[in-house]
Amino acid sequence: MVGTAVRLDAGELYSVIGVMPPNLELRLFDDRARRAEVQIWMPKPGFDEIESRLRVYGAWNVLGRLRPGVSVADAQVDLDAISGQLAHEYPKTNSSISAQVIPLRTHLAGGLRDLLPFLLGAAAILLIVSGANVASLLLARGTTRQREFALRQALGASRLRLVRQMLVESLSLAIAGGTLGLLVAGWILAVLGRFRPLDIALIDRMPMDVRSAVLACGVTVIAALLAGLIPQCSFHARRP
C-alpha cells in the first residue's frame, strides 16, 4: 500500500505514506474513555474560522514521520523555533505554549519506559538468587550422597559419568521450572491484558513469542549447568 494513491471523501486523492500495525492503540488522550478505534490518519487541511480567530486550542496531538537524515533533536529545534515565533506574534495565547517531539516507541512504552531496565535487573537478581538456592540444595543433597559417589567411583564409574548424572538431574529440575515459568508468564500476561492495571499501550497484545521462549530455554540451560556443576565441583574439592 505504501506509495499508492487512494480516493477518499469527495474524490480527493491521498498518497499512502505508511501502514501501522493492526489493532494499534495510541494513548493520544489521558482519558481512556475518549479513545476510539482509528482506521486512517489524514493530514489536517488547516484551521477553521473559530480555531484561527479564538486560538484557544493549545493541546494538539500530531503523528508525523521524520524525513531521512532528520533526528528527533532536529525536529525539536524546528518546533522550538515555530513556537517562539508564534509566542512573539501572539503573546496573549502562545506565550506559555510549546511543542515537544516524542518518539512513537517512547510514547507506546508509557511512563514505565525508564523503569524497564530496573525491572529487568530485578528479574536477573531473582534468577541468580533462585539458582543459588537450587545449587545449595543440590550441594546439600550431593554432600549426603558422597558415599554413593565414592562407591560408584570404586566400582569403575568415571568422573565424567558422575558429572553427567548431576547435570541430568539438575537439567530435569530446570526444565520443569522453566516450563512452569513459561506457563505462569503466559497467565500473568493474560491477566494484565484483561485488567490492564498498568498504563502500558498494547499490553494486551504481548504474546509469548519465539524470542521469549528461546531466551527462557537459554536461561534454563545455563541455570541447569551452573546448578549441576557447582555441587559436583564442590564434592571433588572436598574429597581427600
Q: What does the pLDDT look like over 131-164, one tens digit per residue? A: 777 777 777 776 777 777 778 878 887 877 877 8
What confidence score (pLDDT) does residue 218 get?
84
Contacts of 138 (CB under 8 A, 6+ apart): 166, 169, 170, 227, 228, 230, 231
CA nearest neighbour of 131 among 180, 188, 178, 183: 178
pLDDT-based confidence at 182, cuts 50/70/90?
confident
Among 50-64, 71-85, 125-139, which range has the highest average pLDDT?
71-85
81 contacts 63 by C-beta, under 8 angstroms: no
Q: Determine the structural domain holding residue 225 and report its residue range.
A: 110-238
83 contacts 98 by C-beta, under 8 angstroms: yes
- Amino acid (1-letter code) at residue 85: Q
Domain end position, chosen among 66, 83, 101: 101
Task: Name residue 7's beta-bridge partners.
Answer: 13
Same domain, 115 and 60: no
Higher model confidence: residue 130 or residue 5? 5
Rounded Cα distance, 128 and 120, in Å = 12
Same domain, 141 and 52: no
17 contacts 65 by C-beta, under 8 angstroms: yes
Rounded Cα distance, 121 and 60, in Å = 37
Same domain, 223 and 122: yes
- Model confidence pTM above 0.75: no
CA distances to 104, 181, 239 from 188, in Å? 26, 10, 45
Rounded Cα distance, 179 and 104, in Å = 34
Domain end position, chosen among 50, 70, 101: 101
How many domains are contained in the chain? Answer: 2
Same domain, 201 and 137: yes
Cell numbers 529545534: residue: 77
227 contacts 131 by C-beta, under 8 angstroms: yes
